[in-house]
Amino acid sequence: MRFLERLYSDISLLVALRRALKSYDPIENDPALSIGKDIERVVDLYPDNIAIRFEGADTTYRAFDARANAYAHWALSQGLKKGDAVALFMSNQPDFVCCWMGLAKIGVVVGLINTNLAGAPLAHTLNISEAAHVILSADLMGPFAAVAGNLKLTPRAWALEGAPGAEDLGAALATMSEERPDKALREAVTQDDLALYVYTSGTTGAPKAAKMLHRRVLGMMRAFIGAGDGGPTDRVYVTLPLYHGTGGLCGVGFALIAGGTLIIRRRFSASHFWKDISEEGATVFFYIGELCRYLVNTPPSPFDTAHKVRLGVGNGLRQEVWEKFQPRFAIPQIMEFYGSTEGNVSLFNTDGKMGAIGRIPMWLAPRLNVRIVKFDVETEQPVRNAKGLCIAAASEEVGEALGQIKSEEARFRFEGYSGDPKQTEKKILRDVFKKGDAWFRTGDLMKRDKNAYFYFVDRIGDTFRWKAENVSTNEVGDVLAQFPGVKEANVYGVKVADLDGRAGMAALKLEPSIDLKALHAYATAQLPAYARPLFLRIQPEIETTGTFKYRKVDLVTEGFDPTKTPDPIWFDHPNERAYVRVTPELHADIQAGKFRL
């Protein structure tokens, strides 16, 4: 890196860092701060600004606050109190935000349920929320009704639009006060209280409920405002699902905690993205890498550059896509970041270095908690020296990224997961650089180059990313193994052409009489689209290690190429909506990108 390049990078990082820390000051200085108090501050400053725009309709901050207050009063009318939980299973719409922010005012904890879930994963997620009430949109009543009888509790279902089998939430809200709840109730909620459960697969096992205190949610929101210089004139376009941290917390916070306008789209559409951006006058948008790849593959449009965007914020943007994406759509700044829902490691790429997720120069490293340590892929554990301590990875060496846990600093805490404390302990690595220290395991492999830029390399172990979601191979395998005729299921991820992440593939040991058509219908019903195996490999026996762990290295290497194995391989054909036997010709078509996967 040349001197001037390094100087520019250092200055941009320093400016963004100072803004972020300043934005974070209220959290450090006011222990009583809560989400409700922060949003009420914004409402009082900008009552007539447009808070939310959705499908052509505007909601002012005054009206947004009134709707949130109605939700708070509804919760009180149901006997809910601080610390009680409600599950929110709702598609993208303004009420999603009004609901959880309104309940946060009085300390009710909201579980943000992934709207793609169905079957056993949905039942598990609802069970660990321990919610007595489920608020849902009518379009999701079917998946909920299918699992309601299998839940540990029997939550009351409330549908906003009204639906058979659920109580009419819209009618109930219409009878509620729109005034702010009693001040004593709101004052009793502080940043140390639990606000949300945001669900994550983590590195192993079924979804876990990451505990999100008011402090952490506010920190995520405010850090992005600072790093991206957000303000009341920004119009923030969010087409990502609102149950997801990137769109639902970082994007929502960037707009609403700064007094700007949040533009919500019900779902992502590559063909309408830039038209929406242009017509809505958006200045900021939030992305995931897969979204950018879809946009790059769309035909040219007059709307490609006819916009007012100043900043794109997100994660997972691969360098080869970035190089096409930013110039084609004339985006002045891309701010790639790294972070996990529950983790204490955060990185921002403030100077636009393509492919990097952030930079930590030597002068900044002592102030931050991020380190990369040598990692043994076979044991899936960091390498330790003769003293039993971890070893820092060298420049350009791939290792696991860790974040030191510092309870005295809000940014570096790790609150863990709800329920089984063993799940929390699995994410903590102890005695890393000195006896007695504790570090958060990100579960991600990274490397750092000689110029101090960090790069994401891959996920560790049994979790891979597909369609910007973490897919737990253990979870998918457990679901598949419950189907009659599936004796064993070994799930892993494989590369497909130049697509982001890895597609799911399952090596199966089957009974001879199994019905693949029925298996396809079962997988479609029980697993979200991103978690369904795109390929099946039928094996007479599943190979295991001496400790009875499934062997995957050779399977991953061979992928779905039928010329590399005598085992039959099947493809979940998007046009046939059925498993189709993979031939060399079909393999070539898949690799050539002839199917939208």
pLDDT in tens, 260-296: 999 999 999 999 999 999 999 999 999 988 889 889 9
pLDDT at 462 over 80: no
pLDDT at 206 over 70: no
- CATH 3.40.50.620 fits domain 464-591: no
> Which tokens belong to 292?
């950018």
pLDDT tens track for 464-507: 888 878 787 878 888 998 899 998 899 999 999 988 888 999 99
- For residue 401, with 0-12 CB atoms within 10 Å meaning exposed, 13-18 middle and 19 or more buried, which class applies? buried
pLDDT tens track for 14-42: 888 889 888 888 988 899 999 999 999 99
Instruction: Please state, in angstroms and rounded to a whole number, the distance separating the CA atoms of residues 402 and 395.
Output: 16
**H-type alpha helices, 300-392:** 319-328
* pTM for this prediction: 0.84
- For residue 127, with 0-12 CB atoms within 10 Å meaning exposed, 13-18 middle and 19 or more buried, which class applies? middle
- For residue 149, with 0-12 CB atoms within 10 Å meaning exposed, 13-18 middle and 19 or more buried, which class applies? exposed
Average pLDDT, the chain: 92
pLDDT tens track for 319-368: 888 999 999 999 999 999 998 888 899 999 999 999 999 999 999 999 89
Instruction: Please state, in angstroms and rounded to a whole number, the distance separating the CA atoms of residues 170 and 173.
Output: 5
Q: What's the average model confidence in pLDDT over 304-316?
A: 96
Instruction: Please state, in angstroms and rounded to a whole number, the distance separating the CA atoms of residues 174 and 202.
Output: 39
336 CB-side CA count, 13 A? 24
Look at 396-405, 406-415, 577-586 and tell me which has the smallest mean pLDDT. Answer: 406-415
In contact, 330 and 305? CB cutoff 8 Å: yes
| pLDDT value, residue 361 | 92
pLDDT tens track for 358-390: 999 999 999 899 999 999 876 889 999 999 999
